[in-house]
Amino acid sequence: MIMKILILDTCAIVKFFINEPGSETVRYIANNRTQLGLNLSVSIFARLEFEKILWRKAAYNQITTSKVKSILERANGYFSDVFRIRDTYPIPDFKVGSTMEYEQMIKKHSLSIGQNDRDVWHLMCAHNYLGCFGLTGESLPHIVTSDRDFQKIIEAEGYGVIDPEKVSSQDLLKKWA
Q: What is the mean pLDDT of the chain?
A: 84
Pick the CATH number of 4-176 from 3.40.50.970, 1.10.10.10, 3.40.50.1010, 1.25.40.10: 3.40.50.1010
Instruction: State how far the Cα of 140 lies from the Cα of 159, in Å rounded to an integer.
Output: 7
| pLDDT of res. 70 | 97
- pTM for this prediction: 0.84
pLDDT band at residue 28 under the 50/70/90 scheme: very high
The DSSP bridge partners found for residue 5 are 39
Dump pLDDT digits (tens) for 36-70. 888 888 888 888 899 999 999 999 999 999 999 99
